[in-house]
Amino acid sequence: MMSKYILIVDDSRLSRMISRQYVLSLHKDWKIDEAGTGEEAIELASAHTPFAILLDVNMPGIGGMETASRIRQTHPGTHIILLTANVQHSIQTTAQTLGLGFLPKPLKEPQLHALLNDLEAHP
């Protein structure tokens, strides 16, 4: 099976490290890049087409929703999963409207593994 490219976007270095660890515990061969801002994420996504992006919603500068919206325009096939502690219905509704996945923070390893397995089964 071909190695996939994942982009982890979060202004918290600790959150990026945890997400990276969870992805690699399931798929040791996947290539992972990290971005601390929406701007960085947009640049990385345009340079490499990610299979999936784990994207924090609340970040300084361009927030997660705007970042997702911009990346969606250029990479309609990329799976974008929003990560947020803000589980308000409006955020989930907006995520669904944009065709984005959603996982609550703090991220739990079994939930992320289930989501990644599902994305692989139904690309």
pLDDT level of residue 9 (50, 70, 90 thresholds): very high
Contacts 24+ apart (CB under 8 A), 35-38: 35/7, 35/8, 35/9, 36/9, 36/10, 36/11, 37/9, 37/11, 37/61, 37/62, 38/9, 38/62, 38/63, 38/64, 38/66, 38/67, 38/70
What per-residue confidence (pLDDT) applies to 85? 83
| Rounded average pLDDT over 76-91 | 86
Of 6-15, 70-79, 94-103, the poorest mean pLDDT is in 94-103
Give pLDDT tens digits for 27-66.
999 999 999 999 999 999 999 999 999 999 999 999 999 9
Whole-model pTM?
A: 0.94
